[in-house]
């Protein structure tokens, strides 16, 4: 649908249209009133319910919202998620049943999106904090994590051990990763314009974009 959701530094969310640039609805209070300021750093649309999305704040408060069909109002779902501290990323799997979270830790946690309970944790899977984690678009069990430890790792939640399917290495700290729409490739970006595309099946490098370096360590390329 023609919708885009925004998060603010004071913990509010807003939905607008792309074509008309019209604000449809927004919250009037922070997601965590007792913990201001608490910016919204993670947002993710549900796949099967395109008017529903999840928002996560930097202190790890998670909430599911839905945009009412007949009026500009954001409704919240009564799903009691456990708090995930230092959050920077949320991702919904393709069946809308699982919610992946990561942040300024070296671990990732998957929640049941219907009950809010923890479904599985992946502790200490990186040497540095995990900037972005993303579910695949067509497989409900596969996800990738990117970290400042200069690695992208791909995981399958059906495996009994917390070992990645494979690992891709970069020369700089990784800022983000994402799957292409058909899950053939993973695109990853690292500090100072290092952008690389990998084959999602085995992690082999498929393409490296030739973007000039700036020499600035704060150039967090996305």
Predicted pLDDT at 69 = 78
Regions of the chain with pLDDT less than 50: none
Distance of alpha carbon 221 from the chain centroid: 16
For the chain, domain boundaries: 80-91+126-222
Protein fold of 80-91+126-222: Methylamine Dehydrogenase; Chain H (2.130.10)
Predicted pLDDT at 68 = 86
pLDDT in tens, 154-208: 999 998 778 999 999 999 999 999 999 999 999 999 999 999 999 999 999 999 9
Give the predicted TM-score (pTM) of the model: 0.91
Does residue 183 contact residue 138 with C-beta atoms inside 8 Å? yes
pLDDT in tens, 9-18: 989 999 999 8
Alpha-carbon distance of 13 to 27, in angstroms, equals: 6
Does residue 157 contact residue 120 with C-beta atoms inside 8 Å? yes
DSSP 176-207: EEEE-TTSSEEEEEETTTEEEEEETTT--EEE
Q: Are strands 174-179 and 62-67 parallel, antiparallel or unpaired?
A: unpaired
């Amino acid at each position: 649908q023609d919708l885009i959701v925004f998060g603010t530094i004071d913990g509010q969310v807003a939905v607008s249209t792309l074509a008309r640039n019209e604000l449809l609805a927004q919250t009037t209070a922070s997601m965590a009133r007792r913990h201001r300021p608490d910016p919204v750093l993670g947002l993710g649309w549900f796949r099967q319910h395109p008017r529903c999305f999840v928002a996560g704040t930097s202190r790890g408060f998670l909430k599911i919202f839905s945009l009412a069909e007949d009026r500009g109002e954001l409704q919240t779902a009564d799903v009691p998620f456990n708090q995930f501290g230092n959050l920077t990323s949320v991702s919904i799997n393709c069946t809308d049943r699982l919610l992946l979270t990561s942040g300024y830790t070296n671990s990732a946690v998957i929640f049941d999106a219907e009950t809010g309970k923890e479904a599985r944790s992946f502790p200490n899977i990186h040497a540095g904090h995990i900037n972005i984690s993303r579910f695949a678009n067509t497989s409900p069990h596969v996800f990738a994590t990117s970290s400042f430890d200069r690695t992208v790792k791909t995981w399958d939640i059906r495996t009994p051990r917390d070992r990645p399917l494979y690992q891709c290495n970069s020369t700089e700290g990784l800022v983000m990763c994402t799957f292409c729409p058909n899950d053939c490739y993973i695109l990853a970006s690292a500090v100072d314009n290092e952008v690389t595309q990998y084959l999602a099946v085995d992690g082999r490098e498929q393409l490296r974009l030739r973007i000039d370096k700036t020499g600035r360590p704060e150039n967090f390329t996305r």
